Amino acid sequence: MIARTVIAGAHIATVDPAGTEHADGHLVIDGSEIVAVGGGAPPAWALDGRAPDGSPCVERVVLTRVDGRGRLLTPGLINTHHHLYQWLTRGYAQDSILFDWLTTLYPIWARIDADLTQVASLGAMAVLARSGCTLVGDHHYVFPRGCGDIVGGIVAAAGEIGVRVHATRGSMDLGASDGGLPPDFAVESTEAALRASAEAVAAHHDPSREAMVQVALAPCSPFSVTADLLRQSAVLARELGVRLHTHGSETLDEDAYTRERFGLTPTQYLESVGWLGPDVWMAHCVHLDAEAIARFASTGTGVAHCPTSNARLGSGIAPVPQLLDAGVPVGLGVDGAASNESGKLGEEIRAAVLMNRLRAGADRMPGRKALWMATMGGATVLGRDRELGSLEVGKLADVALWQVDTVDHAGLIDPVAALTLAAQPPLALLLVHGRPVVADDTLLTVDEPDVARRVAAASRELAERV
Ligand SMILES: [Zn+2]
């Protein structure tokens, strides 16, 4: 049996290399794969049960028709940076900069465990899916003693919601007594972190093109991790064939920290321990000088741009137009919910447009460039650009269908601007790997009020553990 979905009559932004759009187009999905996309009505073979080449199908075709009129069809959005567990710690340290915010939250985070992380992930992923996200990148780096299988909890939550997940096995091994920022009780030994990283990859990483779950290694940041752990993590990740992720150049405090401690900028320091390359992506990259941008570009190092979080913590505005001009792959991220209480990836598109214009000018961040970052840019940063990120024949069917004819958007002359400049539209449909996850702005896979109740209880429990 072939499950075929035909979407017709939508404005389609394919985000293919030519930026092709169809004002009244169709998309055909067979199972988990896009088999046709174009302008006008769907081809006859799609509706009468034949194969794309017009020949009869050996298997029975079960057809679902979706009315795309009044709707915008885009690739599913890809989140390149998050800390899902922080869904339980929203609203703390509301007016603090990064280092003060971190020192307020570390003692709470140090009580996290696998069960609480799984509930947090359900809440965060529910909101992500409802904002168009089909691939959730996460960065988890807090592993208190006896916390259980946290990466397993994140993977289980993604399975329940029905989204792809790129989890990370992160780490911190530089406690306050050794000159780091986190308290000693929140860090692991270097050896334990490396052992657990290899175990997480063995347990959960799927290298296949169709993968719903991948795992990367992700020491937390230059001020919470030793040079030894950074160096050995890079070697281990390359042995295992997985990617590397960390925070880089987020704040001026971090810049001062590496200059004082190593006599290097954060980028020079990270490069010195093997951390630039096409298999590396870094969150934030707010304070990059021209030399650092050139090094990112020549090494193919990716960036996760998190505009709302950078604003919430007053960290600054990343030089995104300059990064894109230089050819650096840039994706979008919501960052952890403790520094972005919204957690909606769809909203980051508009935030990226507005914030980058404040620094670089209105013509330097077109809305469609921000949509590219949220889709193809993210797929590139996560190493999935061959199979995800655009609506093209042969790609996997991760798609978002946005309702743009309600009172919020009716009359707006450009449907794409509904997503890039206006309030985030509701979702008519979200498909991940061809499977429906959201319809009529409601999750199909979990009971939303039940997730809300579980999140509230888990958040209370974590607060009371301190
Ligand atoms: Zn972060």
Determine the pLDDT at residue 199: 98
CA of 372 to the centre of ligand 1 (A): 21
CA of 200 to the centre of ligand 1 (A): 20
Determine the pLDDT at residue 188: 94
CA of 31 to the centre of ligand 1 (A): 35
CA of 81 to the centre of ligand 1 (A): 6
- Angle at CA 158, nearest 5°, toward 153 and 164? 135
User: For residue 234, what are the contacts with CB-CB under 8 A and spacing of at least 6?
Assistant: 244, 273, 274, 275
CA of 140 to the centre of ligand 1 (A): 9
Query: Cα separations (Å) of 66 from 28, 50, 254?
Result: 10, 18, 49
CA of 35 to the centre of ligand 1 (A): 37
CA of 247 to the centre of ligand 1 (A): 6
CA of 29 to the centre of ligand 1 (A): 35
Adjacent-strand bridge partners of 305: 332
CA of 335 to the centre of ligand 1 (A): 5
Walk along the chain (466 residues) and give the pLDDT tens digit of each residue.
999 999 999 999 999 999 999 999 999 999 999 999 999 999 999 999 999 999 999 899 999 999 999 999 999 999 999 999 999 999 999 999 999 999 999 999 999 999 999 999 999 999 999 999 999 999 999 999 999 999 999 999 999 999 999 999 999 999 999 999 999 988 999 999 999 999 999 999 999 999 999 999 999 999 999 999 999 999 999 999 999 999 999 999 999 999 999 999 999 999 999 999 999 999 999 999 999 999 999 999 999 999 999 999 999 999 999 999 999 999 999 999 999 999 999 999 999 999 999 999 999 999 999 999 999 999 999 999 999 999 999 999 999 999 999 999 999 999 999 999 999 999 999 999 999 999 999 999 999 999 999 999 999 999 998 6
Report pTM: 0.97
CA of 282 to the centre of ligand 1 (A): 9
410/388 Cα distance (integer angstroms): 30
CA of 283 to the centre of ligand 1 (A): 6
Q: Locate 373 and state its tokens.
A: 């970052």
Mapped to the 3 state alphabet, what secondary structure does the chain carry? Answer: CEEEEEEEEEEEECCCCCCCEEEEEEEEEECCEEEEEEECCCCHHHHCCECCCCCECCCCEEEEEEECCCEEEEECEEECCCCHHHHHCCCCCCCCCHHHHHHHHHHHHCCCCHHHHHHHHHHHHHHHHHCCEEEEECCCCCCCCCCCCHHHHHHHHHHHHCCEEEEEEEECCCCHHHCCCCCHHHCCCHHHHHHHHHHHHHHHCCCCCCCCEEEEEEECCCCCCCHHHHHHHHHHHHHHCCCEEEEECCCHHHHHHHHHHHCCCHHHHHHHCCCCCCCEEEEECCCCCHHHHHHHHHHCCEEEECHHHHHHCCCCCCCHHHHHHHCCCEEECCCCCCCCCCCCHHHHHHHHHHHHHHHHCHHHCCHHHHHHHHHHHHHHHCCCCCCCCCCCCCCECCEEEEECCCCCCCCCCCHHHHHHCCCCCCEEEEEECCEEEEECCEECCCCHHHHHHHHHHHHHHHHHHC
HSE of 52 in the Cβ direction (CA atoms, 13 Å)? 14
CA-closest candidate to residue 220, choices 285, 281, 275, 171 = 171
Determine the pLDDT at residue 466: 67
Q: Locate 413 and state its tokens.
A: 């002359």
335/382 Cα distance (integer angstroms): 15
Query: What is the four-CA torsion angle of 119, 124, 128, 129, rounded to 10 degrees?
Result: 10
Q: Locate 195 and state its tokens.
A: 């052992």
Classify residue 387 as exposed, middle or buried by CB count within 10 Å of its CB (0-12, 13-18, 19+): middle
